[in-house]
Structure 1
Amino acid sequence: MSDVLLCVGNSMMGDDGAGPLLAEMCQRAPQGAWIVIDGGSAPENDIVAIREQRPARLAIVDATDMGLEPGAIRRIDPADIADMFLMTTHSMPLSYLVDQLKEDVGEVIFIGIQPDIVGFYYPMTPAVNAAVETVYQRLADRDGLAQFDAL
């Protein structure tokens, strides 16, 4: 069984591009044995591709407004995603994606990166860029994502 990394976000919207930047970094220089999917701003379109992999683990990384300092990284329990008011820019809530994949995935890990500026044509802020680099480095260790503080 494989591990899938689903990177979510819109690279044209400043810090919301954290996920796509991570996918790009992994495609240039893979970390660990992750199968990387750039889910963009419509990750629900990748449900079939993820199901086909039948991953032991699915890690989802997205810019998520958690009310923290910009660049803060937190591990969020997927069961709490639907109950929390998490600000995202996606057309469907990520809880829908998680619900659709429950039967096909062994474990879901959700990693949120606190954005600072989310707006069309803004550059990514240094704090979020550094956070993406931190997540990228942790991918080399199979259990690296589990070491982030929980929200």
Structure 2
Amino acid sequence: MRKAILTIGNTLRGDDGVTTYLGKLIEAEDSLDWEIFYGEDVPESQFHKIREFNPDLVVVADAITGMRIGQVEVIDISNDVDYMYSTHNLPAPILMSYLKGFCKSVLFLGLTVDLENVLEVNENISKEAQVTAESALKKVLEIDSIF
């Protein structure tokens, strides 16, 4: 089974880059065979590469707010029109709808970060966000065992 993860986040906005950190953790994990697509703050720029890779599963990972900081969840946002999930050009529900047009399974993985840590220019993620990414890696390992 071909599996991919699309990370979304601006690495110049502190903890918004948490999913880029997650992507690096996944790449370093020998037991995982996932293709990582770094979408940064324009994830739709990776769609042609994802389409070429032709995965059976795509996990879209993005920093979110609105839940307990550090919480990592697979969230069903397929019918959600609230744009709180993304600070990027294309709202996550629309992005996922497009991916579902050519991928068998698409999941949204939300990594809850402190909003205060994404508001200013900062190339580093906090220790708290690093721990959140490590929790997200465990969630990816769970997803990997299911698919």
TM-score, normalised relative to structure 1: 0.82
Question: Is the Cα contact below 8 Å between 1:74 and 1:113 reproduced in 2?
Answer: yes
Q: What CA deviation, in whole Å up to 9, does each residue of 1:102-133 have, x standing for no partner?
A: 12111111010111121211742322210101
Task: Detail structure 1 runs of 4+ shifted over 6 Å in the superposition.
Answer: none
RMSD: 2.1
Number of matched residues?
A: 143
Task: State yes or no: 1:97 paired with 2:95.
Answer: yes
Task: State yes or no: 1:88 paired with 2:89.
Answer: no
Name the structure 1 match of 2:27: 27
Consecutive unaligned residues in structure 1, runs of 5 or more: 147-151
Distance 2:39 2:30 in 1: 17
Q: Give the direction of change, closer, same or farther, for the CA distance of 1:32–1:114 in structure 2 (3 Å limit).
A: same
Which structure carries more helix by proportion?
Answer: 2
Amino acid of the structure 2 residue aligned with 1:70: I
Question: Is the Cα contact below 8 Å between 1:5 and 1:60 reproduced in 2?
Answer: yes
Name the structure 2 match of 1:111: 109
Name the structure 2 match of 1:56: 56
Name the structure 2 match of 1:17: 17
Distance 2:74 2:28 in 1: 25
Consecutive unaligned residues in structure 2, runs of 5 or more: none
Name the structure 2 match of 1:126: 127
Residue 87 of structure 1: how far off its partner (Å): 4.0
Percent of aligned pairs with the same amino acid: 24
